[in-house]
Structure 1
């Protein structure tokens, strides 16, 4: 389909654990990501969510099933570099992604590697740093920046390669709350303003609420899928999987159980206030 950025078909991923036993990290997952979409993949540790992310960028290959990126089969070796140009990847630890001693050199690293002409690199570096709000730090040393700023530099480095999609694997897990907000704001902006497809792997509810669509993983399979308003009111099911839901959604659920007639698809404090005012 022309509208598909990534398509996983019956994806299986097996690995061998420390004891030498074969385990299934991903067990028959079919999932398509539309162009321009902001998709959130939620799940706790060991649910298979990070394993799926690595298949989208050919860091792993399927043990069974298929993964297609812009229609290209990830198992065809000649496709690998083209797929990696299409899909950029941002990881959990910003320190592991930064390679240079000056911010702008770090952002230039990716485009240099793929043979972009120097004049074009200069333009891309400046544009990417402006997009993530880090242009005034271009001459700084990355190691002196905060975690959130480093992660935004890592995102700028991916943006400079002009990808169609960015997969972020728990990019805020090591950040403080203000760093997390900075990074999420940046992710939303590049999705809305630049039309770049986003796949955000996370276990934070406040981040998941902001996606167009949420996929909940459990034990290598998709347990739930839908818009945040469709997924989060299923409080009982989410708890059984071992995940929380936004506090206001849980409050609405509990009030409903007590017989108070209130919407259960509430996702923000503002919506909760409105709903409570309407009860009067």
Structure 2
């Protein structure tokens, strides 16, 4: 049995939108684990609680009830805070909010410098991290002159330079154009597959979720579906009821099945769709 990188046990988080009003649940009784080395996607529409649970995974938020354990450390213990954040890095939606320096390599060095890493080791980490995200040749460029996708890759390099065991991506492609989205997602998958870093990706894009090892679907602060992408997306009716789509080919198979055509509905891509249609002949 694999070891857990993140363990959420009956986690709830309440907030008060306006002073004097009743508290509302952003997350309500959520339990799941993220295995070390796993690529997990948390899927849901706006207001589902997915970003709130993400912020619990590196102690930006502390649960109102329940427990979050990150690599064996309880987020409620103040003494664990910096250790948790060095083990579980976070990349946010807007790359401009994460870039702090005027030169790319200085930006990537910012995190390890704050961790007190020796200068020689920082130099090594900066070069390694920029190579991992394919941005080494831009190391002396000004970040603000780069494209959205390139900026997001610099933000990822900055987290990688801190040598985390886990990276939580909170809708990192939401502000990017399609080509930027593709390059960032390719990068995220490479980091997971080549370096064994645990990935938690928060998104509402079906094509991104389809590439994960496992998908958790949230709605109204609760986990409503969980499993491999193939299993989750075959629940077309349930997904549509909560306002989420499924990959287009999966939906097409679902509609064909409803029309009386005997076709597999556990299909995620065009190649599988072509194979399934050929078998009908």
TM-score, length-normalised on structure 2?
0.98
Partner of 2:200: 199
Local SS of the residue matching 2:250: helix
Could you tell me how far apart the structure 1 residues matched to 2:162 and 2:73 are?
Answer: 19
Partner of 1:4: 4
Local SS of the residue matching 1:148: helix
Could you tell me how far apart the structure 1 residues matched to 2:48 and 2:231 are?
Answer: 21
Could you tell me how far apart the structure 2 residues matched to 1:162 and 1:246 are?
Answer: 34
Could you tell me how far apart the structure 2 residues matched to 1:228 and 1:262 are?
Answer: 18
Local SS of the residue matching 2:106: helix
Local SS of the residue matching 1:279: coil
Tell me the number of residue pairs that the alignment of Structure 1 and Structure 2 aligns: 280
Say yes or no: does 1:212 pair with 2:184: no
Could you tell me how far apart the structure 2 residues matched to 1:62 and 1:231 are?
Answer: 27
Could you tell me how far apart the structure 2 residues matched to 1:178 and 1:228 are?
Answer: 23
Partner of 1:166: 167
Cα offset for 1:21?
2.6
2:132–2:191 CA contact under 8 A, matched in 1: yes
2:2–2:35 CA contact under 8 A, matched in 1: no
Could you tell me how far apart the structure 2 residues matched to 1:241 and 1:203 are?
Answer: 12
Could you tell me how far apart the structure 2 residues matched to 1:49 and 1:272 are?
Answer: 30
Cα offset for 1:274?
1.1
Partner of 1:50: 51
TM-score, length-normalised on structure 1?
0.99
Partner of 2:270: 269
Show CA shifts across 1:107-138 (max 9, x none): 00000000000000000000000000000000
Partner of 2:13: 13
Partner of 1:239: 240
Could you tell me how far apart the structure 1 residues matched to 2:258 and 2:215 are?
Answer: 25
Say yes or no: does 1:86 pair with 2:87: yes
Cα offset for 1:279?
1.2
- Structure 1 unaligned blocks of 5 or more: none
Could you tell me how far apart the structure 2 residues matched to 1:263 and 1:48 are?
Answer: 32
Local SS of the residue matching 1:17: coil
Local SS of the residue matching 2:93: coil
Could you tell me how far apart the structure 2 residues matched to 1:2 and 1:113 are?
Answer: 32
The correspondence of residues 1-280 of structure 1 with structure 2, limited to 5 A, is: 3-18=3-18, 20-280=21-281
- Structure 2 unaligned blocks of 5 or more: none
Could you tell me how far apart the structure 2 residues matched to 1:23 and 1:53 are?
Answer: 18
Local SS of the residue matching 2:268: coil
Local SS of the residue matching 2:128: helix
Local SS of the residue matching 1:109: helix
Could you tell me how far apart the structure 2 residues matched to 1:27 and 1:259 are?
Answer: 40
Local SS of the residue matching 2:279: helix
Cα offset for 1:259?
1.0
Q: Alpha carbon RMSD of aligned pairs, Å? A: 0.9
Could you tell me how far apart the structure 2 residues matched to 1:215 and 1:5 are?
Answer: 16
Cα offset for 1:2?
6.6
Could you tell me how far apart the structure 2 residues matched to 1:263 and 1:149 are?
Answer: 39
